[in-house]
Amino acid sequence: MKFKNFVIFCILIFLFSCSSKKSKQEIVIWHWMTDREEVFNKLAQKYSESKVVTVKFETYAPSDVYREKVRAAAQGGLLPDIYSPLGDQRELASFIKAGYIEDLTEYMNTGWKDWFFEAVLQQNTYKENNEWNLKAGIYGVPIDVVSIQIFYNKKIFEKLNLSVPKTFDEFINVCRKLRESNIQPFVSGFGEEWLIDVFSKSFEYQILGEEGMIKTIKGEIKYTDPRWIQVFELFEKMRDEKIFAEGIITMINKDAERVFATEKAAMALNGSWGINVYSGMNPDLKYDVFMPPKIANAKYPLRIWVSSSFLNVNPKSKFKQQAVEFLKWLTEEQQQIILSKETKNIPSNKNVSSEIESDVLKNFASNIDKSFPTLPVVENWKVIGTKCRGIQSIIIGQKTAKQLALELQKEKEKVISEIKLGSN
Amino acid sequence: MKKDYHISNALFVLPAVLMFAIFTIYPFVKTFQLSVYEWDGISPNMKFVGFKNYIDIILADKIFWKSMTNAGVITLLALTFQNLLALILAVIIDRGIKFEKFFRTVYFIPPILSGVVVGLVWKWIYDGNYGILNTILSYIGLEKCATSWLSNPKTALLSVAIVHMWKGFGWGFIILLSGLQTIPRELYEASSIDGADSFKQFYYVTVPLMIPIFFIVSILTILGTMQIFDLIYSMTRGGPAGATEVPISYIYRYMSNNELGYATAMAVIFGIVLFLLSILQIKISRKLKKV
């Protein structure tokens, strides 16, 4: 009898705890940004004090683990109110198609979208007739912005009397002088394919332009086209001039950051987050940034990689309206200033970019409009992988530009035939 | 009464059967089911493609087979050098040397360390910029041999294999040592009276009695090495230019890019290959036992 009473008591406690949770208005946000955890919690507390709704940020890191968690939760119908699928446009499109992401166009059209950098907002925006047949609209809210440029060590540059290179030839000359002084010119986390892609794209856009890139993705321009070979030949040139740091092709970005922070390389292709990283690794390091080199006689303007930490709203959330309101509050000027100051990231709200304290970050922010355009089509990941591994091979002298072009075209044709088979 | 007896028996077995069904049979069936579909892991709709994924992998995916070869090379090195080292050390310890317990503990430290941690430490050792290995080579006048061990396609796979063997020999050592200690000492005494020297004792007494243990160690080595991932991921991520790609890292790449059908088909093929290897080894071991 006693046992029976105990069981009933436990069931009642369980039911009570469940019901009390349901009646509470709590917005749950899943994110992967460990460096922003503290400030997010502060802002959540600030918001909860002024509103009826409480906000809870839950961090899941590293980003791989976060991605898997989101995918599993999507399958189980357990997504939180606000989250991000963390992926490219293709992956985002899959989430939207499956009904896991809310269309925010209606909210954004109330003037909200004017707060953001145009180039940044485009990354979660789908235009009419897009590759995925999605309804045109804005699907995400940018929280802050990151961009990739080339950091350089001011002390080394001053010591060797070097000026910041603007063109590719100047860049090569600077590298030559650095090598002559036994300093490794350039480092980056080229063990991570996406960083090779970012560097390569800054040349690709100059040589092929937006239209050329789209045509290549559609298969109308072959990778064996002389323009593509010209892109790969730039890497041959850089390899021959010994610009790359020792072991660059298996370095993850953390290793590359260490090489630059310990002054073992004079230049580093890295993101704006590097400001935080370098100040932690070597507070005395003096550096600034410059844009990737411009190719002489390039037909098209120089473009750089710009991205943003987006948050998306779960359309099945019980507190969808409140979730949107919170995101609007988070991107208001006051909160964006706090976020930028605490995290040293570029705010997504363009109206507060003048509030950025760091000169280097200001330099990053001033070039956001030069971002790679958001294309209506995305290259298949296998083709990108083949390209990046091919560039690695060029760097270590295993392949020539022409060999890579042929191999890449072969992979592209394979992917095209797979897509054709799939659609049949 | 008899019926009750059977019901109570079944009830006792039921939790284990349920656990086995949920955590072993269901994932196995689900994996096979996924492998005949094309699915991005997100969409509610999966497209049935039959055995297309299998055909593509077997006939056209050169990288998958290259990754199998890479894993095979590491496995072969581990089977020979790693297990040989383990055996030599086990024999030495079995002879009863000084500080036996100390060595036994030291040899077992690498296997209990996290693969990612070991990978990162060795990555540091191999580093071309500030690695200890190159510093030592320069110090002893072999600076010409210094290289970026993990970024050079000629040395990358061997460098990873060495770390894997260093990390794994402790398992073999412990199992072989426990096997050696089960061999009755009288056999050695009798063979000694018959005039057998240490080598003959090893060849005629130790080896035949250790065959089941060699078999277990080699099975564990093959299964463990073919599935190598943590070291690869933390040291090279499959690079440079795919030189250290192994099946699991390749499958992981497809999984990360939301090609779940193809990835699971690779996993099934990989599982079958491992299964066949184990069967082959069992057969070889049985033949050896008869000999």
Measure the CA–CA gap between B133 and B131, rounded to whole angstroms: 5
For A264, the closest of B47, B129, B242 (CB atoms) is: B129
Contact B127 A247 (CB under 8 A): yes
Which three-class secondary structure state does DSSP give residue A266? strand
Rounded to a whole number of angstroms, the distance from the CA of A98 to the nearest CA of chain B is 5
CA-nearest residue to B63 within chain A is: A386
What pLDDT shows up at residue A112? Answer: 94
How many C-beta atoms surround the C-beta of residue A324 within 10 A? 21
Q: First and final CA of chain A: distance in angstroms?
A: 67
Q: Do A250 and B253 touch (CB under 8 A)?
A: no
Shortest CA distance from A393: residue in chain B: B241
pLDDT score, position A16: 53
> What are all long-range contacts of A121-124, with beta carbons under 8 Å and residues at least 24 apart?
A122/A373, A122/A374, A123/A89, A123/A307, A123/A308, A123/A310, A123/A374, A124/A92, A124/A310, A124/A312
CA A178 to chain B, closest CA, distance in angstroms equals 16
Superfamily of domain B62-290: MetI-like (1.10.3720.10)
Contact A91 B128 (CB under 8 A): no
Query: What pLDDT shows up at residue B264?
Result: 95
Q: Does the structure show a pLDDT above 50 at B72?
A: yes
pLDDT of residue A20: 46
- What pLDDT score was predicted for residue A22? 45
- For B92-109, how does the pLDDT look when each residue is reduced to its tens digit (9 = 90+)? 998 888 888 888 889 989
Cβ of residue B257 closer than 8 Å to a chain A Cβ: yes
* Predicted pLDDT at B262: 94
CB contact, 8 Å: B27 with chain A?
A: no
How far B35 CA sits from the closest chain A CA (Å)? 16
> pLDDT at position A5, please?
63
Q: Is B34 on the interface with A (CB under 8 A)?
A: no
Are A396 and B258 a contacting pair at CB < 8 A?
no
Which chain B residues in 201-240 lie under 8 Å from chain A, judged by CB atoms?
A: 235-237, 239-240
Q: Contact at 8 Å (CB) between A28 and A82?
A: yes
In A219-351, alpha helices (H): 226-240, 253-261, 274-281, 320-330, 333-343
Which pTM value belongs to this model? 0.84
B47 to chain A, closest Cα gap in Å: 9
The residue of chain A nearest to residue B242, with distances taken between CA atoms, is: A389
Mean pLDDT by 10 residues, chain A (424 residues): 57 54 76 87 90 89 86 91 89 91 95 91 87 90 93 96 95 96 95 94 96 95 96 96 92 91 95 89 94 92 92 94 94 92 88 85 89 88 94 94 96 87 63
Q: Would you say domain A25-146+308-370 falls under CATH 3.40.190.10?
A: yes
Output the pLDDT for position A63: 81
DSSP A399: -
- Residue B147's pLDDT band (boundaries 50, 70, 90)? confident
Query: In the A/B pair of chains, how many CB contacts fall below 8 A?
Result: 82
Kindly list the domain boundaries of chain A, sorted by start residue: 25-146+308-370, 147-305+377-423
Domain edges within chain B = 62-290
Closest approach of A59 to chain B, Cα-based (Å): 20
- Whole-angstrom distance, CA of residue A127 vs CA of residue A135: 8
Pick the CATH number of A147-305+377-423 from 3.40.190.10, 3.30.470.20, 3.30.420.40, 3.40.30.10: 3.40.190.10
Would you say the CATH fold of A147-305+377-423 matches that of A25-146+308-370?
yes
pLDDT recorded at residue B232:
94
